Amino acid sequence: MSFQLAAYQENAVTDLLKNVRKLLRQSDGKKLVFKAPTGSGKTIMMAEFLAQFADDETHSPCSFIWAAPRQLHEQSKEKLEVYFENSRAMECRYFDDLTDKQIGENEILFFNWESIRQNNNIYIRENENDNNLSNVIANTREAGREIVLIIDESHFHAQAETSQNLVAAIAPKLTIEVSATPVMVNPDAIVPVDIEEIKQEGARGKAMIKKGVVINEDFKNVITRGGNAIKSELANSTDDIVLREALKKREELVKSYKKAGISLNPLLLIQLPDRRGQADEDRQDMIVQTLNDKHGISTDNGKLAIYLAEDKKNLENITRNDSEVEVLIFKQAIALGWDCPRAQVLVLFREWSSPIFSIQTIGRIMRMPYPDDSYYDEDALNYAYVYTNIDDIEIKDDIGRGYVVFHTSTRIPKYEPLKLPSVHSKRHREQTRLTPLFTRLFLDKARSSGLTEKIQTKEQHVHSSFISDWKSENIDLIAGMHLKANTELDAKNDMDLQRLFDYFIRKSLSPEFHPEDRSVGRVKEAVYQFFSKHMKLDRIADFQTIINIVLSDDNRQLFSDAINAAKIAYRADTERFGKELVEEVWEVPEKIVYGEGYAEMEAKKSVLQPFLSDESWKSETKFIEFLNAPRNNVVWFFKNGARDATYFAVPYSDRKEHAPFYVDFVVLMKNGTVALLDPHGIHLADFASKSDGLQTYISDMKKKGRKVIGGIVANTDPRNHTGSWMLYTGKGKDAKEGDWGGWVKLEL
């Protein structure tokens, strides 16, 4: 199975390898923390790190122990076995699967963390067969291998005294702690993955986690305790109200997914405290009854699932995106390591164990359901939602500043549709990763260059000089350290031929395209199709023949030239497509969520209430005061943003390419006229092009009979903005700083 790593994942793997190599050269007992948020793909990153580590012979032989709480070790073992299925880079074992009572080189022993912390456990205590952990470790060391201990989800047990005693007993050369919330004290190295890096990848085309988590949407939330806590209007509400609001949000999401054409049934989670008692059981019964009586959701009709130690119902297909289950009642401890990416709404009641929100609290709703997609144009689908009546919610630093969103602005009820044409850039992942388009272009270039007639097919083979190049090349840069540079190759062995072919393809991709697995696979597919179409050679039956022809001294450059020609054509096509603008009918968003840095500001004429501002520009703040003047003809104004289809934009020419200009203010006048206004410094390099783009849009709208006015605005007092607001309607190139010719006074 092929896995495509995101850029931040590849960077993390590189950092892990660099730090692990360094620490293994030092004294025993070193500690490394791998800190990555829930949903970032920690297990996949660790799997890729281990695969590349196994292919690197610069370190001493190592054996691995992977310890995880509860049954998470089984889940991790399954994931890693799938990852290593083709490469066989690592072998995954349970205790009973070990050979000769030792852990082999590049072999991982998986353990349940709680079981090995119990001194009377069969794997710990001595027995007549000497088949216990101490002997296994001793035998492994006697065979000349170092022990690397990996503690997964370490925050659960790693710092307990018994856990520390166990680590001391294992005495690993290196301990790697893997967690979103690590607890290791004084580590020798830390490899962090930042939430912002993951979100940036989502904007480029691989959305792993939500943009943020919204707390008590539509309810007023106030910062307390010097900015360290949130007090919500919903804190005074009953459990029934909290549940009602959460279910209402789930139904809104259902409609949004349908509107966007996305097959997904969002899941609402109700998290109960981990403790057990009569009061907790009564609460559970009350929740189940309320869901059934007031909302028609029950285990009998398949809409309710329960995931508790003593009670499990309707869990069979719950992780499927089209599952009919709408609500799940669970406990965090029971659901440790359990992933259901369609989970998007979380309910926490007042008696929950702690008012502190951490990554562990919101982790179950952070994942995006389709991680190979970009963030959605319907922005509400890119967020997760928490509803709670907990008082004074504290947000832990491990979540990341700004990830928890606690301000919501809602469109006023009297809003009537504008139906304004708006543009946004079309998303294209093709600019960084190859798509099936490459195969067609390669076949076209192969045909036009006469590749079939040029190549030699008789008695072709991989020459030793190419193998020498492979061994001496800086493999780290070309193949992401997948290949061993100091090993003998058998050119008659399919696996070794595959390695050489992969090396050739990766080298051919660089530097224009990153040689990640999916792009490598696209190029290989193109080559295989060429042989199938023109020479009737099958990729499986004739594998050795194909690779020997491609990599022979007679043909290698010919194939390299064809790949390069296809790359040039592919780049030209995708760059052209990447400049495409999509036009859609735009309306003021029904809701916009805001995080840290925004504060409520008095603005009675804002179409969104409450009005929230970061007050980043003094000119904008003063212009808002101008729009809010009581005696003007403004019905409402919308303070625009600058992101995808959520916000309004007009097209303009940016260095001869079309781009979206997100006009700062959309204003509705009493006579129905729409004013598009943007406070924009005349000294800025893009003034002329943006002004011309906006005037062209306004002119086109007027030709269609629409009442639209506007342009770039500026104040005659550029320092304090206490003068007159002026509107520019002339040609962009004619505007001169300090010259008010071509400007008219803005009258609203």
Distance CA 441, CA 266 (A): 40
CA Rg, the chain, in Å?
Answer: 31
Q: Are residues 213 and 337 in the same domain?
A: yes
Distance CA 713, CA 678 (A): 6
Q: Are residues 144 and 202 in the same domain?
A: no
Q: At what angle do helices 161-170 and 133-142 cross, to 10 degrees?
A: 30
pLDDT tens digits, one per residue of 333-348: 555 566 788 999 999 9
Edge-to-edge strands, sheet with 393-395: 221-224, 229-232, 393-395, 356-357
Q: How confident is the model at residue 156 (pLDDT cuts 50, 70, 90)?
A: low
Q: How confident is the model at residue 699 (pLDDT cuts 50, 70, 90)?
A: very high
Q: Are residues 378 and 254 in the same domain?
A: yes
Q: How confident is the model at residue 254 (pLDDT cuts 50, 70, 90)?
A: very high
Percent of the chain beyond pLDDT 70?
84
How confident is the model over 195-223, as a mean pLDDT? 83
Asked if residue 422 is part of any domain, the answer here is no
Distance CA 674, CA 730 (A): 19
pLDDT tens digits, one per residue of 7-60: 889 889 999 999 999 999 999 999 999 999 888 888 899 999 999 898 877 788
How confident is the model over 356-369, as a mean pLDDT? 80
Tell which of 571, 597, 616 closes a domain: 571
Q: Are residues 139 and 279 in the same domain?
A: no
Are 102 and 188 within 8 A, CB to CB? no
On the question of pLDDT at 132 being above 70, the answer is: yes
Q: How buried is residue 193: exposed, middle or buried, by Cβ count under 10 Å (0-12/13-18/19+)?
A: buried
On the question of pLDDT at 284 being above 80, the answer is: yes
Tell which of 521, 547, 571 closes a domain: 571
Q: Are residues 102 and 219 in the same domain?
A: no
**Structure tokens given for 467:** 């193998």
**Structure tokens given for 451:** 């590749």
- pTM for the model: 0.71
Query: In the prediction, which pLDDT does 472 show?
Result: 46
Q: Higher-confidence residue: 477 or 130?
A: 130
Phi, psi of 477 (to 5 degrees): -80, -30
Q: Are residues 661 and 697 in the same domain?
A: yes
Query: In the prediction, which pLDDT does 469 show?
Result: 59
Are 63 and 148 within 8 A, CB to CB? yes
Q: Higher-confidence residue: 573 or 323?
A: 323
Asked if residue 415 is part of any domain, the answer here is no
What is the DSSP pairing of strand 393-395 with strand 356-357? parallel
Q: Are residues 281 and 330 in the same domain?
A: yes
What are the strands, taking DSSP E only, across 595-645?
A: 599-600, 608-609, 612-613, 634-639
Asked if residue 414 is part of any domain, the answer here is no
CA distances from 418 to 441, 455, 591, 668, 674 (A): 43, 62, 16, 9, 9
First to last CA, the chain: 63
CATH of the domain at 188: 3.40.50.300
Reported as type and span, the H/E element at residue 258 is helix 239-259
Query: In the prediction, which pLDDT does 58 show?
Result: 78
Distance CA 678, CA 675 (A): 10
Q: Are residues 724 and 631 in the same domain?
A: yes
Asked if residue 25 is part of any domain, the answer here is yes
On the question of pLDDT at 121 being above 60, the answer is: no
Asked if residue 577 is part of any domain, the answer here is no
Asked if residue 412 is part of any domain, the answer here is no
Mean pLDDT of the chain: 84
Number of domains in the chain: 4
Q: How confident is the model at residue 3 (pLDDT cuts 50, 70, 90)?
A: low
pLDDT tens digits, one per residue of 625-661: 999 998 899 999 999 988 778 899 999 987 667 889 9
Query: In the prediction, which pLDDT does 480 show?
Result: 37
Domain ranges, residue 444: 430-571
Q: Higher-confidence residue: 365 or 166?
A: 365
Q: How confident is the model at residue 191 (pLDDT cuts 50, 70, 90)?
A: very high
Q: Are residues 447 and 299 in the same domain?
A: no
Q: Higher-confidence residue: 641 or 361?
A: 641
Tell which of 138, 161, 193 closes a domain: 193
Asked if residue 548 is part of any domain, the answer here is yes
Q: Are residues 530 and 629 in the same domain?
A: no
pLDDT tens digits, one per residue of 169-186: 889 999 999 988 888 888
Q: Residue 218: left if φ>0, alpha if ψ -120 to 50, beta else—which one?
A: left
Query: In the prediction, which pLDDT does 693 show?
Result: 95
Q: At what angle do helices 437-448 and 517-535 cross, to 10 degrees?
A: 40
Q: Are residues 204 and 184 in the same domain?
A: no
On the question of pLDDT at 674 being above 90, the answer is: yes
Q: Which residue has tokens 């294209």? A: 428
How confident is the model over 121-126, as a mean pLDDT? 53
Q: What is the DSSP letter of 192?
A: E
Q: What is the DSSP letter of 743?
A: E
Q: Are residues 306 and 223 in the same domain?
A: yes
Q: Higher-confidence residue: 250 or 41?
A: 250
Percent of the chain beyond pLDDT 90?
41
Query: In the prediction, which pLDDT does 475 show?
Result: 39
Asked if residue 1 is part of any domain, the answer here is no
CATH of the domain at 358: 3.40.50
pLDDT tens digits, one per residue of 412-431: 999 999 999 999 877 654 45
Query: In the prediction, which pLDDT does 416 show?
Result: 95
Query: In the prediction, which pLDDT does 573 show?
Result: 74
Q: Higher-confidence residue: 713 or 516?
A: 713
pLDDT tens digits, one per residue of 70-114: 777 788 888 898 888 877 889 999 988 888 889 999 999 998 876
Query: In the prediction, which pLDDT does 161 show?
Result: 53
On the question of pLDDT at 435 being above 80, the answer is: no
How confident is the model over 378-399, as a mean pLDDT? 84
